[in-house]
């Protein structure tokens, strides 16, 4: 709900998703989640249906939150996962085609970052994420991609890889899948923006001002 160029950030995300043909959106909420419900409602102003999965005050981490959504039956057999602070420029149809065409168990979008916008954390080659590992102080030279903030996951993969009721980072599951050679990749060509830091928020507002607003 942080304002970006005078509007709640979630509005920009929902406009982008609706413009890409998305019709069902799930918000995983927790602390002050009632504020998100009140601000976004059922999604009808954007032409989407919004479901909410509320963790309450016992936060489960990004991985645990996704598992809870699967358990609640609101995700379907396969689904996109988008971080709530990410503003992306990628064709969801192309990502879906890459996922289904190669019969991947899971797929991560990546961007050739070379340490520019965040610390690089992925090795990508031949359509696969060969290694994904966050938090390395000195990423090896071949690790010049970064997680773009959008993945495709299967419900059964989440249930098998994330223990019920535990607080788990989604990055742990994605790391394990990459180590097992089970994580496909899709290269995004336009940089991402994130509002999780003052600099990221300023960069996005500058981008929107320069381009005249969000593009669908």
Select from 83, 41, 109, 79 the least CA-distant residue to 69: 79
Cα 204 versus chain centre, distance: 17
Secondary structure class of 96 (helix, strand, coil): helix
Q: What is the pTM of this model?
A: 0.91
Residue 216 in this model has a pLDDT that exceeds 60: no
Residue 112 in this model has a pLDDT that exceeds 50: yes
What value does the mean pLDDT take over residues 130-152?
92
DSSP state of 22: -
Tallying the residues shown for the chain, one arrives at 216
Which pLDDT value is given to residue 214?
62
Residue 65 in this model has a pLDDT that exceeds 60: yes
Band of residue 143 on the pLDDT scale cut at 50, 70, 90:
very high
Angle between helices 33-40 and 9-19 (to 10 degrees): 50
Secondary structure class of 39 (helix, strand, coil): helix
What value does the mean pLDDT take over residues 124-129?
95
Count of H-run helices and E-run strands, the chain? 7, 12
Cα 194 versus chain centre, distance: 11
Q: Greatest CA span in the chain, whole angstroms? A: 46
């Amino acid at each position: 709900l942080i304002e970006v160029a005078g509007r709640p950030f979630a509005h920009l995300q929902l406009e982008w998703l609706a413009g890409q043909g998305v019709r069902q959106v799930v918000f995983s909420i927790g602390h002050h989640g009632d504020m998100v419900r009140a601000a976004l409602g059922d999604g009808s102003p954007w032409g989407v249906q919004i479901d909410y999965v509320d963790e309450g005050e016992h936060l489960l981490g990004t991985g645990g939150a996704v598992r809870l959504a699967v358990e609640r039956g609101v995700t379907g057999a396969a689904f996109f996962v988008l971080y709530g602070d990410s503003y992306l420029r990628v064709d969801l149809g192309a990502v879906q085609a890459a996922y289904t065409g190669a019969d991947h168990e899971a797929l991560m979008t990546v961007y050739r970052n070379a340490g520019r916008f965040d610390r690089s954390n992925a090795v990508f080659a031949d359509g696969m994420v060969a290694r994904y590992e966050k938090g390395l102080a000195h990423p090896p030279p071949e690790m010049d991609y970064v997680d773009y903030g959008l993945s495709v996951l299967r419900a059964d993969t989440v249930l098998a890889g994330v223990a019920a009721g535990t607080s788990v980072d989604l990055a742990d599951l994605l790391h394990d899948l990459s180590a097992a050679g089970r994580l496909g990749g899709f290269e995004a060509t336009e940089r991402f923006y994130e509002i999780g830091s003052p600099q990221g928020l300023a960069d996005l507002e500058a981008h929107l001002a320069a381009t005249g607003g969000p593009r669908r």
